[in-house]
Amino acid sequence: MKILLIEDEPELRKSVKAFLNDEGYVVESAADFDDARDKIGAYDYDCVLVDVTLPKGSGLDIVKELKSLQPQAGIIIISAKGSLEDKVSGLELGADDYLSKPFHLTELNARIKALFRRKNFDGNEVIVIKEIKIFPLKRTAFVNDQPIQLTAKEFDLLLYFVSNKNRVVSKSSVAEHLLGDYAERMDSFDFVYAHIKNIRKKIVEKGGTDYLLNVYGIGYNFNVEQ
Amino acid sequence: MRLLTRTSLYYVIFSLPILILAGCLSYYFLTESMLEGTDELLLSRKENLIPYLKDNNEQFISFLNSGEEEKVWFQAGNCQANDVFSDTLLYSNEEDELIPYRVLRTSVANEKGCYKIKLMRSALESEEVFLGVFTALLILLALLFITFLVLNLYINKKLWQPFYQTLNRLENFKLSQNVAEHQEKVSTLEFNLLNISINKMMSKMTSDYQLQKQFTDNASHEMQTPLAVMQAKLEQLMQSRKLGEEEMLLIHTLNESISKLVRLNKSLLLLSKIENRQFESSDIVSVRDVMESSLQLFQDYIESKEIVVSIVHSGVLNLKMHKGLVEVLIGNLLQNAIRHNLQNGKVLIEISEQGLSISNTAGESSLEESTLFERFSAQSDHSDSNGLGLAIAREIAIVHSLELVYRFKDGLHCFELIYSK
């Protein structure tokens, strides 16, 4: 999987690149508009992450060009302008997803995976992790081939953890994943905790292993390496 | 009381004593000169009598005495030929009342002796004069009053017009609406000066406000990137396997603070964008749809608090504004109602054509209304709240000519969004 990251802030570029490399992606990066245009003209990408405000041009123009040059590439817009404005225009131009800055790397990772799933499988994708099987588009999950009944939020949460397996996922990123901008004011951590308790219970009930580790109060790790 | 009504009233009040004084003076001078006239008249009548009396014209004397106003009688002895004037009251049959008379007593000497003369003249006229003067003054007062009224109207319309225009402009002045349009030059010096000062003040205020807004906007914007870098680095650090519990807890605290800062910054940015009217409002958004999706979003939370939500649709409410803003507006109000609710509490939602109301159970006392919608005025002890949710909701309402009010009634905290076409 090849990803192009178009972002002008070098430190952010470094972090995103490192995080995505760890996931096994090949990541190339572009620092400005011209650089980005050269790269999308020369190479094919599976996914392009575009910052809207770029030196020498707008990321939205890159999106337009990408749509004609590489219609198969998934596009995720990253914008510092706030979630309400560029979202609509970006998605109208043909971007697949939208993420507003600052974002959690684990959230970006989950979005990229969801994008690949939508692009590459026709609803038949299955994520298999040991005894757990998840059908993301059908929104069903099985443990030892027995279906488990998860609520919509529990399913989202499980998928989020699985997308970031073997990673430390912070509590705040989990809360934001579920509640968006409302995460903060909702005493959200208790609420996240309640969901996680349910997920664990439902997996263990069907004879599954509880892979979800608490990491010193900071967050969780869906760890299948041990 | 209007300024002009007040001045006219003062004019009338102060002209009253002047008029009374003028009346007294004119009465005094008029009666004086009339008295003089009467006296002269009596004297000249006396002069007319003298030749007859000197001749001892008996026939004439008896003719004289037949009248009321002249009496002549003979008196032997010395004659003191001096004129004495006096006033008296006599009963008049015609008028059936006492009438004032001016009396001249004098005497005329001839060779036989002395004729005493008493001449009288009715002073009735001076009373009539008094009445006349009084009436004239009353009419004058009435005329003055009417003149003031008419003048008032005229002045009001013409002279004070620029002043009322200025007043109107001040009343309608809104900092956020950026309408510091200058008023035309007027012909009255004072009003012109006033307008110039006001124009100066308004432009200063507007530009200060703009600068302040720009500053918030720029500051929030510039903070986004460093915050994004901080958050990303911290997340990277979290993935490290070399960290012990102590380091992880430090990272946790840092992460919490940064997350808080990130959301605060997002809220401020949103607020300044709403104020700057950066959201085109061309969408027609169904409040019902947005309410349902918001309830969906908070469903788990509602369940965990065991809150009973009842929703009444007594009409269809569509708002013409950016869909994202409607989501934020309803989301913030709903979140507020859920978050501050009690365990096993209630949320009542009513959507009608006139607006939307969201009531919830919570503490027994009313919230401080004056600061409720202010920024950073979190009234509860929820330390994780940044106190911007309601400020944002109200700003959205204001920009879209909606009214957002808070009421505390029957133990329910009610936020009402009033929509008027």
For B126-157, how does the pLDDT look when each residue is reduced to its tens digit (9 = 90+)?
677 778 877 888 888 888 878 888 887 887 77
Confidence of residue A85 (pLDDT cuts 50, 70, 90): low
Residue of B239, B263, B273 with shortest CB distance to A184 = B263
pLDDT at B42 (0 to 100): 86
Q: Is the pLDDT of residue B338 over 80?
A: yes
pLDDT at B36 (0 to 100): 87
Task: Determine whether the interchain pair B255/A106 forms a contact, defined as Cβ–Cβ distance below 8 Å.
Answer: no
Confidence of residue A222 (pLDDT cuts 50, 70, 90): very high
Confidence of residue A13 (pLDDT cuts 50, 70, 90): very high
Which amino acid would we find at residue A37?
R
Per-residue model confidence as pLDDT tens digits over A194-212: 889 999 999 999 888 889 8
Q: Determine contact: A189 vs chain B, CB below 8 A.
A: no
pLDDT at B352 (0 to 100): 92
Q: Which two tokens stand for residue A58?
A: 């707008």
Q: List the single range of A85-89, A152-156, B264-268, B272-276 with lowest mean pLDDT.
A: A85-89
Higher pLDDT, A125 or A82: A125
Per-residue model confidence as pLDDT tens digits over A146-167: 999 998 889 999 999 999 999 8
Q: CA of B357, closest CA in chain A: separation in Å?
A: 20
pLDDT at A19 (0 to 100): 93
Per-residue model confidence as pLDDT tens digits over B46-62: 888 888 777 777 787 78
Q: CA of B298, closest CA in chain A: separation in Å?
A: 8
Residue of B252, B324, B339 with shortest CB distance to A84 = B324
Contacts of B280 in chain A (CB under 8 A): none
pLDDT at A158 (0 to 100): 93
Mean predicted lDDT score pLDDT of chain B: 83
Task: Determine whether the interchain pair B229/A185 forms a contact, defined as Cβ–Cβ distance below 8 Å.
Answer: no
pLDDT at A109 (0 to 100): 94
Q: Which two tokens stand for residue B63?
A: 């003719």
Q: Which two tokens stand for residue B364?
A: 């027994």
Q: Is the pLDDT of residue B381 over 60?
A: no
Q: List the single range of A91-95, B137-141, B375-379 with lowest mean pLDDT.
A: B375-379
Q: Is the pLDDT of residue A71 over 80?
A: yes
Q: Which two tokens stand for residue A30?
A: 């572009």
The predicted model gives A82-86 an average pLDDT of 62
Q: CA of A206, closest CA in chain B: separation in Å?
A: 24
Best to test chain A binding among B239, B295, B386 (most A CBs inside 10 Å): B239
Yes or no: say if B325 and B279 are a contact pair by the CB < 8 Å rule.
Answer: yes
The predicted model gives B251-269 an average pLDDT of 86
Helix (H, G, I), strand (E, B) or coil at B419: coil
pLDDT at A122 (0 to 100): 65
Query: Beta strand pairing status for A146-148 and A140-143?
Result: antiparallel
Q: Considering only CA atoms, which of A115, A112, A59, A54 is closest in space to residue A90?
A: A59
Q: Is the pLDDT of residue A219 over 70?
A: yes
Q: Which two tokens stand for residue B275?
A: 């104020």
State the count of interchain CB pairs (< 8 A) between A and B: 137
Q: Using CA atoms, how far apart are residues B282 and B324, in angstroms rounded to an integer?
A: 12
Report which secondary-structure segment, H or E, holds B251.
Answer: helix B245-275
**Inter-CA distances, A160 with A106, A190, A224, B186, B288, Å:** 8, 18, 15, 70, 30
pLDDT at B22 (0 to 100): 84
pLDDT at A36 (0 to 100): 93
Q: Is the pLDDT of residue A29 over 90?
A: yes
Q: Collect all residues with Cβ–Cβ distance below 8 Å to A127 and sequence separation of at least 6.
A: A133, A134, A135, A136, A162
Q: Considering only CA atoms, which of A22, A193, A12, A157 is closest in space to residue B239?
A: A22
Query: Beta strand pairing status for A47-51 and A2-6?
Result: parallel
Contacts of A186 in chain B (CB under 8 A): 298, 301, 335, 338-339
The predicted model gives B290-306 an average pLDDT of 87
Helix (H, G, I), strand (E, B) or coil at B331: helix
Best to test chain B binding among A20, A86, A151, A218 (most B CBs inside 10 Å): A218
Yes or no: say if B129 and B30 are a contact pair by the CB < 8 Å rule.
Answer: yes
The predicted model gives B90-108 an average pLDDT of 80
pLDDT at A48 (0 to 100): 94
Q: Which two tokens stand for residue B335?
A: 């979140």
Helix (H, G, I), strand (E, B) or coil at B297: helix
pLDDT at A50 (0 to 100): 93
Best to test chain B binding among A23, A186, A222 (most B CBs inside 10 Å): A186
Q: Determine contact: A113 vs chain B, CB below 8 A.
A: no
Q: Collect all residues with Cβ–Cβ distance below 8 Å to B184 and sequence separation of at least 6.
A: none
Strand locations in B185-249 (E): none
Helix (H, G, I), strand (E, B) or coil at A148: strand
Task: Determine whether the interchain pair A187/B236 forms a contact, defined as Cβ–Cβ distance below 8 Å.
Answer: no
Q: Is the pLDDT of residue B197 over 60?
A: yes
Q: Is the ipTM of this complex over 0.95?
A: no
What are the backbone angles phi and psi of residue A73, rounded to the nearest 5°?
-70, 140
Angle, vertex CA A204, rays to CA A201 and CA A209, nearest 5: 130
Q: Using CA atoms, how far apart are residues A99 and A80, in angstroms rounded to an integer?
A: 9
Q: Determine contact: A182 vs chain B, CB below 8 A.
A: yes
pLDDT at B404 (0 to 100): 92
Per-residue model confidence as pLDDT tens digits over A30-64: 999 999 999 999 999 999 999 988 888 888 899 99
Residue of B235, B269, B339 with shortest CB distance to A82 = B269
Mean predicted lDDT score pLDDT of chain A: 87
Helix (H, G, I), strand (E, B) or coil at B199: helix
Q: Where are the alpha helices (DSSP H) in chain A?
A: 10-22, 33-42, 59-69, 85-93, 105-120, 152-163, 171-179, 188-205
Q: Which two tokens stand for residue A100?
A: 């507003």
Q: List the single range of A135-144, B118-127, B279-288 with lowest mean pLDDT.
A: B118-127
Tokens 């007027």 locate to: B186
pLDDT at B379 (0 to 100): 56
Q: Considering only CA atoms, which of B119, B103, B98 is closest in space to residue B48?
A: B119
Task: Determine whether the interchain pair A101/B273 forms a contact, defined as Cβ–Cβ distance below 8 Å.
Answer: no
Higher pLDDT, B148 or B183: B148
Task: Determine whether the interchain pair B339/A85 forms a contact, defined as Cβ–Cβ distance below 8 Å.
Answer: no
Per DSSP, chain B holds a count of helices (H) and strands (E) of 11, 11
Rounded (10°) CA dihedral B313, B318, B319, B322 = 110
Higher pLDDT, B92 or A148: A148
What are the backbone angles phi and psi of residue B104, rounded to the nearest 5°?
-115, 120
Q: Considering only CA atoms, which of B255, B264, B219 is closest in space to residue B389?
A: B264
Q: Collect all residues with Cβ–Cβ distance below 8 Å to A107 and sequence separation of at least 6.
A: A99, A173, A176, A177
Per-residue model confidence as pLDDT tens digits over A101-137: 888 999 999 999 999 888 877 667 888 988 899 998 8
Q: Collect all residues with Cβ–Cβ distance below 8 Å to A214 and sequence separation of at least 6.
A: A220
